[in-house]
Each structure stands twice: as structure tokens, then as C-alpha cells.
Amino acid sequence: MRCSVLGAARSGIAVAKLLREKGAAVFVSDQRPLDQLDEEALSLRSLGIELEGGGHSDRVLDCSLLVLSPGVPGDIPFVQEAGRRGIRVLSELEVASWFCRSPIVAVTGSNGKTTTTTLIGRILGDAKKKHVVAGNIGTAFSAVVLDMAEEDIVVLEVSSFQLDHCETFRPKVSVILNVTEDHMDRYRHSMELYAASKARIFMNQSGDDTFVYCADDPWTIRIAAQAACRRLPFSTDTILQEGAWMEHGILMLGDQNGPKQVIPLEQMTIRGIHNARNAMAAVLVGSLFDVSIASMRATLRNFKGVEHRLEFVREHNGIRYYNDSKATNVDAVRYAIQAFSDPIILILGGRDKGNDYTLIQDLVRKHVKSILAIGESAQKVETAFHGIVPVHRASSMEGAVRLAAQEGRAGDVVLLSPACASFDWFKNYEHRGKVFKDLVNHL
């Protein structure tokens, strides 16, 4: 088979290698000039994989299968033309799943994917269950799929971009944590389109499979009705008969054998009601793979979260600094603000994705002391919160940290929770978070 891959980043490189190993003739194309590609991308040529940079030539369409990296929009001209020519257009996630013999746990949602995926992996690992954590979280599915045995469990963080171009992808367990406004620039400002994309995670599941979902989220409830498999809800607002819920501050797990106490919320290291929901989803998945409550309780007591997600950095002059660089939409910022009771100096902004800041104006008014606006969206941030709280512009992350340190007083929280993508000033959200942490640690 002749296959073309658009995008020579992590997942594009991995799926190109996978297809080549399986005997395909592979051509990889990237918008970046060749001298800007990393060594791993350039090494594809030594494997007999053709590679072009500096834009997509017509050679891309000389194939029967076009594989998209998650960062490549499905509405660019080459992808549209491929569809007109009858070329199959698929995601790396779909292609990797063809070669997977292991049961798949797939986790998606607008917020909490990385924390929940990591926690599920930790629950399985602590219970001595053989597993692999991959997907949108860091290691491409294609990079590990051939190394996995039938008895392994693969835990995947899955994005809507990956799901958009799936046909046969079928997880044993699917999870939707929430569906809130995000990536509106990619979904034509339509929540219906975005929610439909998320719902693709369970479209091929049947009676032997399980769908885990949040019963507190309106969009998730709406799409859950479409699932043709077993459905397990979790809720912090409602006591349930089956699933996971909160009761008198205790995380509960219930099935046909009745309710069981898992852990008091105050004993968990990760904070915030959103992390209670993430923990519920992870516990439900663990129970489906026969992990004991005692083992999961121990994991939840020791799990400290993931880097760049409400990550405590340092206390300096009585001011606590938190790195929430992974908060790339407004709803993630809402969760972050709600996790604190102390006055907040909020660092907000970056490359806007169609954010509606009016959704958090009341919350900001109540809990935020001031906002430091950064990045391309600084003007939009300033306009959205003018007259609500003081807003100051910072022309760099260094300037934002310096201003926060000057303005803050003992007992304050400085919170980097940008609500935006990072690509205006940084390579990715990890780079943004690392720069923030380095600056804070050098105060």
C-alpha cells in the first residue's frame, strides 16, 4: 500500500515507522523546512521512508491512504482533495489500533485527560497489572503497539482531533470526562460538532464493552444516550446506585453488590472537585480490571498529579506559585480558580482558541485579585475583564512573574492558568510551564 503521512512530529513519525515496518511504501510531508525538523524526523529516510519539508506537494496525494497527525486540520486543501479523490483519510490512532491485540482503555474530555490517564496507569501499575500508557499524553500509540502482548492493557489519552478520522477504533473501556467549550477555532464555533467528535470514542463499542462518563456534565449526558454498550456514570452532585459518586465527602463505588467506600476526599493529594471526578473515572476503570479497593485507595493517597496541571512550584515571601500551563481552555481555568480559597493573581493569555471569557467573569470577580495578561490574546483578556478586576499587560513570561512577585502579598496564590494555546511564545504547553517554573525558582 502507498501511504502518505501529513506531519512529521511525534505521532506522524511513529505511524510512518509502523506502516513501513508492516510493508507499506511511506511518504511523509511537513510544512516546516527540512532544516527545522528534528533528527528523529530526518532519520526516517534511513528506513526507506520518503520525506519532504517546506510544504505539501502533489506527491502527497499519490497514495491510497492519507494519515493525519493530530495537529493537522481536516479542512486544509490537501485533505479535502484527498477526500474528493476517494483516498482514505485516517488518524494515527486508527492506524495503530489495527495492530493492537491488547484491551484498550481510551480517555477523552475537554479537561482532565492527562491526569486521569496517568492515574489509571498508576492504579494498574500499583496493582501489578501489565500496562502501557500512550496516546496524546506523550508516547504515540504507533510507537508501542507492536511491543504489547495480549494480556497487557493499553491506556490511551485520546483527543477529538484523533477521533475525527477513526473508522474502526474500538476500546474495551471508553471514558468521557466532560465536554466543555474548547478548540472552537477547529470546530467552526459549534459545540454540536465538537461533542459529536468526542462521541466517536464509543461509536464501535457493543455489549461487551463499557463507557464511563460524567453524569454532572450536560453535553456528556446528552451524548451518553447514543452509546450501545454498558454505561457507568460518575458524579459529585448526585448519589448513584451504580458507578462512582461522593457521599458525605467520601468517594463511593457501587455495583450489583452494593456501595463501597473508597477514600475520603480529604485524604487525596490532588485537590479540587474536578480531580475528584478524575479520580472517580479512574477508580471505575480500575474496578473493571479487578483492582481491589484497598489498592486503589493506596494509590489515591500517594498520587500527586501530573506536571503542568495545578502543580505546586514554590512558596516565596509567603506567596504560593502554581503551574497550570496545561489549562488551555476557559473551563480548565474555572476548575483551577475553584481549587483555591486564597486571593489569586492570575496569569492569563496566549494563542486564543475562540475563548468566551464571560463564562468565568463572576468567578474571577469573587476570587481573583488581579490578572496579568500575556501573549497574542492579551488585548482580548484585558477587554474581557476591564472593570471586573485590575488587568496588567506583561510582554514576556519573565515580566509576568516579576509583576506577580511585586504585586503579591503573603497568603496570595500566583496561578499560571492561561486558557490558551502556547504557540505564540512557546513550543508547547510543557515549554511554557517549564519557563514559568524556572523563573519562579530563580526569584
pLDDT at 190: 75
* 264, 266, 272, 278: CA torsion to nearest 10: -30
Tell me how far CA of residue 238 lies from CA of 19, 213, 251, 252, 261, in angstroms: 47, 14, 12, 11, 16
Burial degree of 293 (CB within 10 A; 0-12, 13-18, 19+): middle
Question: Which residue, among 211, 347, 377, has the nearest Cα to 288 in the 3D structure?
Answer: 211
DSSP category for residue 266: G
| Residue 25: strand pairing partners | 2
What pLDDT was estimated at residue 305? 85
In order of start, what are the domains of the chain with their CATH numbers? 2-90 (3.40.50.720), 100-302 (3.40.1190.10), 311-441 (3.90.190.20)
* Cell numbers standing for residue 239: 448519589
Residue 146: per-residue pLDDT? 96
Largest CA distance in the chain: 64
Output b/e per residue, 86-95; b: 16+ Cβ within 10 A: ebbbbbbbbb
* Nearest CA-CA partner of 22 in 99, 97, 90, 101: 99
Give the pLDDT confidence score for residue 47 in this predicted structure: 96
The pLDDT profile of the chain, 443 residues, written as one tens digit per residue, is: 999 999 999 999 999 999 999 999 999 999 999 999 999 999 999 999 999 999 999 999 999 999 998 878 777 888 889 999 999 999 999 999 999 999 999 999 988 899 999 999 999 999 999 999 999 887 999 999 999 999 999 999 998 889 989 999 999 999 999 987 665 566 666 788 888 889 999 999 998 999 999 999 999 999 999 999 999 999 999 999 999 999 999 999 998 889 999 999 999 988 888 899 999 999 999 999 999 999 999 999 999 888 898 899 999 999 999 999 999 989 889 989 998 989 999 999 999 988 899 999 999 999 999 999 999 999 999 999 999 999 999 999 999 999 999 999 999 999 999 999 998 999 899 999 999 999 999 99
Distance from C-alpha of 419 to C-alpha of 96, rounded to nearest angstrom? 31
Question: Given this model, what pLDDT does residue 181 score?
Answer: 64
Q: What per-residue confidence (pLDDT) applies to 191?
A: 81
The pLDDT assigned to 64 comes to: 96
CB-CB contact of 155 with 107 (8 Å): yes
Sheet architecture: strand order including 250-255: 131-135, 153-157, 104-108, 173-176, 210-214, 230-235, 243-247, 250-255, 258-264
Q: Name the region of 244 (left: φ>0; alpha: ψ -120 to 50; beta: rest).
A: beta
Q: What is the pLDDT of residue 189?
A: 64
Return the pLDDT at 283: 98
- Tell me if 284 sits within 8 A of 234, measured CB to CB: yes
Q: Which amino acid is residue 53, in one-letter code?
A: G
How many other CB atoms are found less than 10 A from the CB of residue 237? Answer: 11
Asked whether 205 and 170 are in contact (CB, 8 A), the reply is yes
Res 187: pLDDT:
60
Cα–Cα distance between 291 and 114 in angstroms, integer?
Answer: 21
- Give the pLDDT confidence score for residue 186 in this predicted structure: 63
Give the closest residue to 135 by CA, choosing from 50, 89, 207, 201. Answer: 201
Each as own residue / partner, the long-range contacts of residues 80-85 (CB below 8 Å, 24 or more positions apart, any chain) are 85/61
Distance set, CA 290 to CA 60, 124, 205, 285, 295 (Å): 46, 10, 20, 9, 10
